[in-house]
Amino acid sequence: MDDTFGSYVRDRREALRQSDATFSVRQVAMRIGVEPSFLSKVERGEAPPPSEAKIVALAREIGEDADVLLALAGKVSSDLQEVIRKRPELFAALIRQLKGAPDNALLRVVREVRDGDW
């Protein structure tokens, strides 16, 4: 098991706990709707990352971007997948083409699309 996910979550949660005692395993687990033992196992890498819905809730809890946390868990948000599935050829072509592009090039495309008159 790789477990960047678990350690990352643990680190973030412990950090938040410094200033807010409600960030215990128990309370966070309760807030995201899982058993404390399960969250504990996930954080220690003994259980694989939970389902997408729980990860999204967890991201909100620890103030992290949901897509980033999902990525750490080896997943891609289902709403993104749906966008791709609706036009597979076009999005497949686009994504494969941007695979090797540097970050700033990507950012430029993002901005162009945002600002442009599409």
Partner DNA sequence: CAGAGTGTGTACTAAGTAGTACATAGTATA
Partner DNA sequence: TATACTATGTACTACTTAGTACACACTCTG
Which of 53/109 has CB closer to its own copies?
109
Which of 84, 87, 83, 50 has its CA nearest to residue 69? 50
Q: Which residue has the tokens 């997943």?
A: 75
Nearer to DNA, 43 or 61 (CB): 43
Single out the segment in contact with DNA by CB under 7 A; choices: 45-53, 64-72, 88-96, 101-109: 45-53
Measured distance CA(68)–CA(56) in Å, rounded: 10
Q: Which of 3, 7, 8, 27 binds DNA (CB under 7 A)?
A: 27
CA dist., res. 106 & res. 118, Å (int): 17
Helices and strands per DSSP (H, E), number in the chain:
8, 0
User: Shortest Cβ distance from residue 76 to its own copies (Å)?
Assistant: 5
What residues from 55 to 94 belong to the interface with its own copies (CB under 8 A)? Answer: 65, 67-68, 70-71, 74-77, 79-81, 83-94
- The reply on whether position 98 binds its own copies by CB under 8 A is yes
